[in-house]
Amino acid sequence: MTRVPAQPAPQQSSGPALGGPGPGDETQDDLRALFGESTAVFASLAGPAHMVQAANPAFLAAVGEDRVRLGEPLGELLPELAGQGVIAALDRVYRSGKPHAARSTRAVLGEGSDVREGFYDVRYEPRLDAGGNVMGVRILAVEVTQVQQAQQLTAEHRALLEQIARQAPLPDVLDGMARVIEELAPGRVLVSVLLADPDGRRLRHGAAPSLPDFYNQAIDGIATGEGVGSCGTAAHRRQTVIVTDIAQDPFWDDFRALADRAALAACWSTPILGRDGSLLGTFAMYHRVPRIPQEADLALARVFADTAALAIERHHAEAARLAAEEREKAAREDLAFLLEASTALASDLDAAQALQQLAAACVPRLAPLCAVDVIENGRVDRIGTAAPTGSEEALLASHIPVYDAADDAVARVLASGVTEVARRTPTGPGPWQDLGVTGYLCVPLMDRRTAFGTLTLLSTGEHTFDGHTVALAEELARRTAAAARNARQYTSRAALARDLQAGLLLPDLPQVPGVDVATYYHPCGEGLDIGGDFYDLFPLEDGRWAFMLGDVCGRGATAATTTALVRHTVRAVAPLLPTPQDVVGAVNRALVNRPDGHGNGFVTLIYGQLTPGDRGAEVELTRAGHTLPVTVDADRTVSAVHTPGALLGIGLDPHLTSHRLLLRPRESLLLYTDGITEARDPQGQQFGEERLSHALGGLPAEHTARDLVTAVTGAVHDFTGTHHIDDDRAILALTAT
């Protein structure tokens, strides 16, 4: 049997190249190696058995030259074609005499390790004899495997790049890439992608859809180094490592049994490198039989290793961005927590309550359980606790640390002023087992380098204290200590102000025969300063009584000294001088002659003397720059008492006069400071004398001095609402009985 000489087939150019580097670039070379050149295939078959009569070199190369013998049926030479429908198609052409054509027909040729997949544009034509009878079939085909693979690779590569651009999860991208390569690569191939740790010392499982789970688990975390399989060595060398026969290669000595169990015989590994040359991972192609890679195999590995590098770097960048956002979010949450806790702590001006608030602020944000202890009179007092349940809180509150116990964490921190943290129960006795305590954090509360208390946070279950929690607790403890110190200072100053103010006011009103007396005093502010308003009532000789109400310019200590000067001067000279005008004049001289260090503010004052009698109470008074006093008669008619007089303390002659009046039974005299009439509503409008008169005009016929005070203060409160009090308020009411 003779072989028909084959005609040379025309060459076709390679398929369309992927976008990227220009000609001459290494990537372009990889694509040429991948796609190569297409060739024409020809074979002439005879008879219904399709015996091979002639074939060109391209046909022999496609099916294997040693597999074709002239004169033998094609189905017997290449039995794999029957299962792919080729023999059936030849039979139809032979029987019908009609040609058959198909595009991109897939053909799997060869056996074992020599198997090869190809795609062809094929045409089967009948061979006719001189009489027009079909004598055989002619096969004409153009191999388009490279073009088909180029198109498929381009589409799959574009899809992967789109996934990366959409920031698809890295495992999905790597898994999809592995499946694409397993489909595109010639021969049966199993793909694995391992990801490098940040330090490049170990490789972690990334994707391996076709490798057995036990194998992926076994190599997850393998070290990078010389001789550590194909992947560990490739990662160490930063170069492709080809192992064609795992059974014989020393790189696989420690993994040979594992590879044998997974039925792996060859492994080609390519390092995945970042743009800066850093190790990102490895890309491996496994085979079930020993195999030497072709240039197309290596080119495919390089192309997809670069794609994997792009995906991994994009993943790292996104992870870094998310981590930065998470850190920023955590920082914002920490700041919000500190601000909220600090605001709550600072809003309470009681030191004990501020420390009690500390425990509530810590649970559950910092720990499941919290206790706050302070030193009081040489012993430790548990001042605040917080827990998930009332029973747990009561149990925690019942435990009091021992101040001088060496085995107690609170005692040690109080002594050292240093934070203590441990992943165990605190030393010393305590309800630790009942509360399920597994760790503690004890932070000192410092005041001028001395610990005056502790903040103890307790862990339960799986909760632990990390450095972040420790830092947050220490910052909160620092802010709490400052708030407690400020609260103690405020409490001390407020107590001093109250004591001093009490010393300037009457502790108890005296009983005046024939006259009902009532007073009212309300300083503005929070009570840290002494108010400038004052009043007094005391007896004189011959059954007379002296009374006064005034307003000192300013507040605080200076106002207190001026108030004391006025009151003491009045009490000293009133028994000696005949008229209120003389007494007020003496006060003015005392103010003018006071030392510079005792203040220089002016004073407004009403001073008077009343004498109870059968007809009521006779009153003689002097006004020095003060608001006009008013009288309320039995018919509840309100009248202002007009009497001239200038401010005290600004000149030697205040031009004082005296005014006399008679308070008959059920008639009243009301003295008040400008804090009453100048009180403002939220719109800024003043209360004024008219509203004062209206409030007094609504009194009952039988009214007391207290009824006057209540009517005025109630009207002012209704007018101002919750508006801030910006001036002191004082009232002295006298009603003849």
| 222-223 β-sheet, strand order | 222-223, 202-207, 190-196, 279-287, 266-273, 241-243
Closest alpha carbon to 81 in 59, 99, 96: 59
Closest alpha carbon to 477 in 379, 334, 305, 342: 342
Q: Is 321 exposed, middle or buried (0-12, 13-18, 19+ CB in 10 A)?
A: exposed
Q: How confident is the model at residue 1 (pLDDT cuts 50, 70, 90)?
A: very low
Say which residue, 325 or 24, is predicted with more confidence. Answer: 325
For residues 158 and 153, what is the distance between their CA atoms, to the nearest angstrom?
8
Closest alpha carbon to 351 in 445, 254, 253: 445
**pLDDT value at residue 329:** 82
Asked whether residue 239 carries a pLDDT value surpassing 70, the answer given is: yes
**pLDDT value at residue 635:** 87
402: its two tokens: 């021992």
Report the pLDDT averaged over residues 590-604.
Answer: 79
Asked whether residue 512 carries a pLDDT value surpassing 60, the answer given is: yes
Q: How far is CA 719 from CA 346, 487, 638, 672, 722, in A?
A: 31, 33, 20, 17, 9
**pLDDT value at residue 82:** 87
Residue 648 has what DSSP assignment?
B
Asked whether residue 118 carries a pLDDT value surpassing 90, the answer given is: no
For residues 589 and 650, what is the distance between their CA atoms, to the nearest angstrom?
10
Report the pLDDT averaged over residues 326-341.
Answer: 79
User: What is the Cβ-side half-sphere exposure of residue 402, based on CA atoms within 13 angstroms?
Assistant: 10
**pLDDT value at residue 173:** 84
For residues 735 and 737, what is the distance between their CA atoms, to the nearest angstrom?
6
- Paired strand residues for 40: 142
Kind of pairing between the strands at 630-632 and 638-640: antiparallel
User: What radius of gyration do the chain's Cα atoms show?
Assistant: 52
User: What is the Cβ-side half-sphere exposure of residue 244, based on CA atoms within 13 angstroms?
Assistant: 7
Task: Name the CA dihedral angle for 587, 589, 592, 598, rounded to a multiple of 10 degrees.
Answer: -50
Structure confidence by residue, pLDDT tens digits, 404-437 = 677 788 989 998 999 999 999 888 888 999 999 9
**pLDDT value at residue 153:** 65
Structure confidence by residue, pLDDT tens digits, 529-538 = 556 788 999 9
Closest alpha carbon to 160 in 173, 179, 147: 173
Residue 673 has what DSSP assignment?
-
Query: CA-based angle 150:152:153, to the nearest 5?
Result: 60
For residues 282 and 297, what is the distance between their CA atoms, to the nearest angstrom?
16
Helix 295-347 and helix 145-165, axial crossing angle in degrees, nearest 10:
10
Answer positive or negative: Cα dihedral of 697, 699, 705, 710.
Answer: negative
For residues 305 and 191, what is the distance between their CA atoms, to the nearest angstrom?
11
Percent of the chain with pLDDT over 90: 45
**pLDDT value at residue 614:** 86
For residues 515 and 535, what is the distance between their CA atoms, to the nearest angstrom?
17
For residues 539 and 251, what is the distance between their CA atoms, to the nearest angstrom?
115
Give the residue ranges of DSSP H helices in 98-241. 145-165, 170-184, 213-219, 229-237
Number of H helices, E strands in the chain: 20, 26
Say which residue, 573 or 303, is predicted with more confidence. Answer: 573
Query: CA-based angle 264:267:269, to the nearest 5?
Result: 145
Say which residue, 23 or 80, is predicted with more confidence. Answer: 80
Closest alpha carbon to 551 in 537, 561, 563: 563
Any residues with CB less than 8 A from the CB of 403 and at least 6 apart, and which? Answer: 375, 378, 379, 380, 411, 414
Lowest mean pLDDT among 157-166, 173-182, 377-386, 435-444: 157-166
- Paired strand residues for 610: 545, 619
Q: Is the pTM of this model over 0.75?
A: no
* Alpha carbon 543 to chain centroid, angstroms: 75
Q: How confident is the model at residue 6 (pLDDT cuts 50, 70, 90)?
A: very low
**pLDDT value at residue 151:** 65
Mean pLDDT taken over the chain:
84
For residues 530 and 517, what is the distance between their CA atoms, to the nearest angstrom?
24
Asked whether residue 438 carries a pLDDT value surpassing 90, the answer given is: yes
462: its two tokens: 């799986």
Asked whether residue 542 carries a pLDDT value surpassing 60, the answer given is: yes
**pLDDT value at residue 60:** 85
Say which residue, 722 or 58, is predicted with more confidence. Answer: 58
* Phi, psi (rounded to 5 degrees) for 735: -125, 125
**pLDDT value at residue 260:** 95
CA distance from start to end of the chain: 154
Question: Do the beta carbons of residue 293 and residue 268 sit within 8 Å?
Answer: yes
**pLDDT value at residue 346:** 65
For residues 438 and 425, what is the distance between their CA atoms, to the nearest angstrom?
5
396: its two tokens: 């925690």
What is the residue type of 612?
Answer: P
Position of tokens 């994009």?
A: 314
Closest alpha carbon to 536 in 606, 622, 441, 636: 606
Asked whether residue 23 carries a pLDDT value surpassing 80, the answer given is: no
Structure confidence by residue, pLDDT tens digits, 600-624 = 678 999 999 999 988 899 999 999 9
**pLDDT value at residue 496:** 56
Any residues with CB less than 8 A from the CB of 326 and at least 6 apart, and which? Answer: none
For residues 419 and 151, what is the distance between their CA atoms, to the nearest angstrom?
67
**pLDDT value at residue 504:** 54
For residues 484 and 88, what is the distance between their CA atoms, to the nearest angstrom?
96
Answer positive or negative: Cα dihedral of 77, 81, 87, 89.
Answer: negative
Question: Do the beta carbons of residue 534 and residue 550 sit within 8 Å?
Answer: yes
**pLDDT value at residue 691:** 93
Question: Do the beta carbons of residue 487 and residue 354 sit within 8 Å?
Answer: yes
**pLDDT value at residue 144:** 79
* Phi, psi (rounded to 5 degrees) for 681: -85, 175
194: its two tokens: 């391992």
- Paired strand residues for 222: 203
Report the pLDDT averaged over residues 152-170.
Answer: 73
Asked whether residue 679 carries a pLDDT value surpassing 70, the answer given is: yes
* Alpha carbon 316 to chain centroid, angstroms: 22
Question: Do the beta carbons of residue 453 and residue 355 sit within 8 Å?
Answer: yes
Question: Do the beta carbons of residue 603 and residue 648 sit within 8 Å?
Answer: yes
* Phi, psi (rounded to 5 degrees) for 643: -150, 130
Q: How confident is the model at residue 345 (pLDDT cuts 50, 70, 90)?
A: low
3-state secondary structure 358-398: HHHHHCCCCCCEEEEEEEECCEEEEEEEECCCHHHHHHHHC
Question: Do the beta carbons of residue 190 and residue 169 sit within 8 Å?
Answer: no
Lowest mean pLDDT among 120-129, 370-379, 478-487, 614-623: 478-487
Residue 509 has what DSSP assignment?
P
